[in-house]
Amino acid sequence: MLGKRTQMKLRFALIFFAVVTLAACTGLRKVDLPKKYNAPAYTQSELDLIMSDEGEKPMRVFLTTSKSDSMLLRQKSRNVVPDKDDKVLERFTQRLYATVRDPGSLGVGIAAPQVGLLRNIIWVQRFDKEGFPFEVYLNPKIVQYSTKKQPCPEGCLSIPNKRDTTQNRSYAILLEYDKMDGSHQIEMVEDFTAVIFQHEIDHLNGILFTDHLEKHRKED
């Protein structure tokens, strides 16, 4: 005869097993995100940061002059799942745009880590298009660089009072990215706009334009 305690334990074990099996069979498991983007769901701190204010409200720009900001700016970002019905993603892209267009910033591009979100999202002003529109890109990646380089004066919203000319930016790049509606695009970009893309995509990998200046100096 089993003791009362052992019987109870067995019963719990059986119930637990039944629940887990049932969940597995009936699809009660957590819904998996589309695997192809390799993008984790938002964390609570990401949600808090994004939803802390309205869409037209700029976010705080992280600066290299702060030690804790610097640490975040040096980290690699993760992908997002493109979804035009994702209200969190919509709010974030709106607020990132408000930040780059803020009279205090007035940049030509911005990357999500610059406001503290380690996700592969950037805004770039397209000087190669009529009217110089700002456009948002999800999961952007440079898949090819031209060997032809261009010198370019650069500055960064995250690095106060620093402007200098980089010498190693490619003149043309082949770019892949996702749009909000989930479509995947491949595009060739040239000239100054190509430098903005290179600068912003560097941010997603924890690289700052000043790294290129140092690299160039060492190569001299």
Chain contacts with Zn ion (rule: CB under 5 A): 156
Nearer to Zn ion, 47 or 207 (CB): 207
* DSSP secondary structure, 15-49, as one string: HHHHHHHHHHHHT-SPPPPPGGG--PPPPHHHHHH
Residue type, 95: R
Q: Could you say which of 46, 154, 200, 214 is catalytic? A: 200
Question: CA–CA separation, 114 vs 111, rounded Å?
Answer: 6
Q: H helices of the chain, where?
A: 4-26, 44-51, 67-73, 87-100, 191-204, 209-219
Nearer to Zn ion, 91 or 203 (CB): 203
CB of 46 to Zn ion, least distance (A): 21
Question: CA–CA separation, 61 vs 96, rounded Å?
Answer: 10
Per the CB < 8 A criterion, the answer to whether 197 and 108 are in contact is no
Neighbours of 152 (CB within 10 A): 21
CB of 203 to Zn ion, least distance (A): 6
CB of 215 to Zn ion, least distance (A): 16
For this structure, is 187 an active site residue? Answer: no
Nearer to Zn ion, 152 or 156 (CB): 156
Nearer to Zn ion, 136 or 156 (CB): 156
CB of 61 to Zn ion, least distance (A): 10
Question: CA–CA separation, 46 vs 52, rounded Å?
Answer: 10
- Residues forming the active site: 200
